[in-house]
């Protein structure tokens, strides 16, 4: 490259003229980028919804950039910032709401933190366990837009758009009820308590209940509400009465309502009507007694256990109740005596009359005079008397029973008095107590100490016996076991030997036996002829020889025995001679030791 190459040797380039634009097409790229970028920004700005501020007491689980604002479980916005209020007492949560939900953010919109809530009446917000807490939202009715809200501490119990009606209950106390406590109708959850407040006079508690839509039509003007909280255990003379509406109500408290049959004709209750909250179902559903008669009774025995409200029975069936228990001074004797006021509801007794007595019942219902006469007759002729009876031995609850005591002293009822006095007889309870204490005293007298000592002795004896038995068992164990084992071993060895011997000898013996049998067979064949002859002879001799008491048989047996004895002696002699052949000559020598 140091020298300029010879230009003439280089070839000449060809030429094609062309025009060149001053501005290149490449500028489309930045223009396009700018347009797209701007477009996105414009879209972002346009889709920007309102930014709102919600003030909470605490921002548990709320995180900027994460926590969503949800309406009907649809996210309508997101929290952008969480900071303390200027006075550091509250938390200000700033949230950006989607543009589409702009119209929902009105003056009376409600915000609250949705978190997993495990209350006695149920579990809610379980989804937040995974997604984290979010801000719940409830739209308001107003049209006025608002950007600054105060959050609720608890979710509103009733969401807007829920159909139903609200009523007011007046109760003496709140009991175990609270916001959210269920209201049952025939044990279906029909609504809930949405709020409560103390009445301005401080004497009652006003509860707002919301009855959901199909159930609200069953709330009539005559409907009774009662507290179905927990277990209603009433311990009366009638025993223990347990009622509960549902397990939830048992734990969380609850209300129930029902329209008693005698009120079923009443109109449907208008919204916000005020009802009285009864303390239990029994008192709520009680039909007011129209006819009532008051009486007084004087007792000279302990009235402990007799409470106001205790039942008064006629032949064991409810007839009234005790209205007052107190003391009184007998003007005749100036002694203090127990005074019991009762009220009787004749209707209850009349209602129990059979169909046959319906006419009589109606007459009685109408005429007080006839009732008095009937009662008078029962007292004078049959000896109807009041008596304190124990409803429950354990708790000592008393009630008043009217029964017939034909032996009771004569008595009359003075119907002219303001409150007629009914005759009584002493109760049997003290007798029972006396008997019981007698039994107890006898039990006391038992010589528990001596019995105890004897039992101890017997036990010691049993103990020694058991120990001895144990020792004996041990000894048997130690002594016998080794011997038993050696014996068993020997037996086993013997068995083995016997096995071998038997196997060898048996086969030989069997061979021998087979040949022998063959021989025998031959002999038997040969013998058949003589035997036949012998048979004949035998048959002849049978009578003489084998008769029942043939003397020859006896003789034969004796003879044979003699022969056997002779043979034995002979064998002894032969044995002796075998060993001592010299004895034939020298005679028997003394046996050498």
Partner 1 sequence: MMATPLTAARAGLVACETCDLLSRPVDAAEPGYCPRCSGALEWRRPHSLQYTWALVIAAAICYVPANVLPVLNTTALGSTDSDTIMGGVMLLYTTGSWPLALIVLVASVMVPLGKLIALTYLLLAVQRGWAGGNREKTRLFRMVEFIGRWSMLDVFVDTFTVALVQLQPLMSVEPGPGVLFFAAVVVLTMMAANSFDSRLIWDAGTGRVERHG
For partner 1, which is the closer residue by CB, 12 or 143?
Answer: 12
Q: What is the largest CA-CA distance in the chain?
A: 181
Contacts of 162 (CB under 8 A, 6+ apart): 210, 212, 213
Q: From the CB of 158, what's the least distance to partner 1, in Å? A: 26
On the 0-12 / 13-18 / 19+ scale of CB atoms within 10 A, 425 is: middle
- Note whether 105 and 124 are within 8 A (CB): no
**Integer angstrom CA distances of residue 57 from 83, 88, 557:** 12, 10, 133
Q: From the CB of 8, what's the least distance to partner 1, in Å? A: 10
The 197-216 site mask, x for binding partner 1 (CB under 8 A), equals --------------------
- Note whether 301 and 426 are within 8 A (CB): yes
Contact call for residue 132 and partner 1 (CB under 8 A): yes
Contact call for residue 46 and partner 1 (CB under 8 A): no
d(CA 313, CA 86): 72
Closest CA to 105 of 142, 68, 150: 142
Q: From the CB of 47, what's the least distance to partner 1, in Å? A: 13
Contact call for residue 65 and partner 1 (CB under 8 A): yes
Q: From the CB of 40, what's the least distance to partner 1, in Å? A: 6
H/E stretch holding 486? helix 448-545
Interface region with partner 1, contact rule CB under 8 A, candidates 33-41, 87-95, 171-179, 383-391 = 33-41
Size of interface with partner 1, in residues (CB under 8 A): 34
Contact call for residue 10 and partner 1 (CB under 8 A): yes
Task: Classify 192 as helix, strand or coil.
Answer: strand
DSSP state string for 170-189 = EES--TT--TT-EEEETTEE
For partner 1, which is the closer residue by CB, 7 or 579?
Answer: 7
Region at 186 (left for phi over 0; alpha for psi -120 to 50; beta for the rest): left
What six digits make up the tokens of 118? 């495990």
Contact call for residue 12 and partner 1 (CB under 8 A): yes
Contact call for residue 163 and partner 1 (CB under 8 A): no
For partner 1, which is the closer residue by CB, 130 or 591?
Answer: 130
Contact call for residue 33 and partner 1 (CB under 8 A): yes
Contact call for residue 26 and partner 1 (CB under 8 A): yes
Interacting residue with partner 1 among 52, 54, 62, 68 (CB under 8 A): 68
H/E stretch holding 134? strand 134-138
Contact call for residue 130 and partner 1 (CB under 8 A): yes
Contacts of 244 (CB under 8 A, 6+ apart): 228, 230, 231, 232, 250
For partner 1, which is the closer residue by CB, 20 or 442?
Answer: 20
Q: From the CB of 30, what's the least distance to partner 1, in Å? A: 4
Q: From the CB of 88, what's the least distance to partner 1, in Å? A: 25
- Tell me which residues touch partner 1 (CB under 8 A): 1, 4-5, 7, 10-18, 20, 23-24, 26-27, 29-30, 32-34, 37, 40-41, 65-68, 127, 130-132
């Amino acid at each position: 490259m140091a020298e300029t190459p010879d230009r003439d040797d280089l070839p000449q380039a060809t030429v094609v003229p062309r025009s060149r634009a001053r501005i290149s097409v490449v500028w489309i790229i930045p223009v396009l980028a700018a347009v797209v970028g701007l477009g996105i920004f414009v879209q972002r700005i346009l889709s920007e919804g309102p930014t709102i501020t919600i003030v909470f007491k605490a921002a548990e689980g709320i995180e900027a950039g994460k926590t969503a604002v949800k309406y009907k479980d649809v996210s309508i916005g997101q929290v952008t910032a969480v900071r303390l209020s200027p006075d550091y007492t509250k938390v200000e949560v700033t949230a950006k709401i989607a543009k589409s939900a702009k119209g929902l953010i009105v003056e009376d919109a409600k915000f609250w933190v949705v978190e997993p809530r495990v209350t006695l009446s149920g579990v809610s917000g379980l989804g937040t366990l995974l997604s984290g807490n979010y801000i719940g939202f409830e739209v308001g009715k107003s049209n006025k837009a608002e950007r600054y809200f105060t959050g609720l501490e608890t979710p509103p119990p009733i969401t807007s758009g829920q159909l139903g009606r609200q009523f007011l209950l007046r109760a003496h106390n709140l009991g175990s009820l609270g916001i959210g406590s269920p209201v049952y109708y025939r044990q279906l959850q029909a609504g809930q308590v949405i709020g409560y407040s103390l009445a301005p006079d401080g004497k009652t508690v006003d509860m707002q209940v919301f009855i959901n839509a199909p159930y609200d039509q069953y709330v009539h003007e005559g409907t009774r509400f009662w507290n179905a909280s927990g277990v209603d255990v009433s311990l009366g003379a009638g025993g223990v009465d347990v009622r509960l509406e549902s397990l939830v109500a048992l734990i969380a408290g609850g209300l129930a309502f029902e329209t008693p049959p005698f009120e079923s004709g009443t109109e449907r209750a208008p919204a916000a009507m005020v009802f009285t909250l009864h303390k239990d179902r029994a008192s709520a559903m009680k039909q007011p007694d129209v006819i009532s008669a008051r009486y007084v009774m004087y007792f000279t025995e302990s009235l402990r256990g007799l409470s106001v409200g205790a039942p008064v029975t006629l032949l064991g069936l409810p007839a009234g109740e005790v209205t007052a228990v107190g003391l009184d001074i007998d003007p005749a004797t100036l002694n203090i005596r127990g005074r019991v006021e009762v009220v009787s509801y004749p209707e209850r007794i009349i209602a129990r009359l059979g169909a046959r007595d319906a006419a009589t019942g109606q007459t009685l219902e109408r005429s007080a005079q006839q009732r008095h006469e009937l009662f008078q007759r029962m007292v004078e002729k049959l000896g109807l008397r009041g008596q304190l009876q124990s409803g429950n031995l354990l708790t000592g609850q008393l009630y008043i029973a009217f029964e017939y005591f034909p032996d009771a002293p004569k008595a009359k009822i003075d119907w002219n008095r303001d409150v007629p006095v009914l005759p009584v007889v002493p109760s049997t309870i003290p007798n029972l107590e006396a008997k019981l204490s007698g039994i107890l005293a006898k039990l006391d007298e038992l010589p528990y100490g001596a019995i105890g000592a004897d039992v101890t002795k017997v036990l010691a004896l049993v103990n020694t016996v058991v120990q001895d038995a144990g020792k004996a068992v041990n000894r048997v164990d130690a002594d016998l076991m080794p011997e038993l084992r050696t014996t068993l071993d020997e037996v086993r060895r013997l068995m083995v030997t016997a096995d071998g011997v038997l196997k060898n000898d048996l086969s030989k013996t069997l061979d021998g036996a087979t040949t022998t049998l063959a021989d025998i067979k031959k002999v038997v064949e040969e013998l058949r002829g003589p035997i036949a002859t012998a048979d004949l002879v035998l048959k002849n001799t049978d009578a003489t020889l084998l008769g029942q008491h043939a003397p020859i048989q006896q003789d034969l047996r004796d003879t044979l025995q003699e022969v056997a004895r002779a043979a034995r002696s002979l064998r002894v002699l032969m044995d002796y001679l075998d060993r001592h052949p010299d004895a034939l000559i020298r005679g028997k020598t003394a046996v050498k030791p």
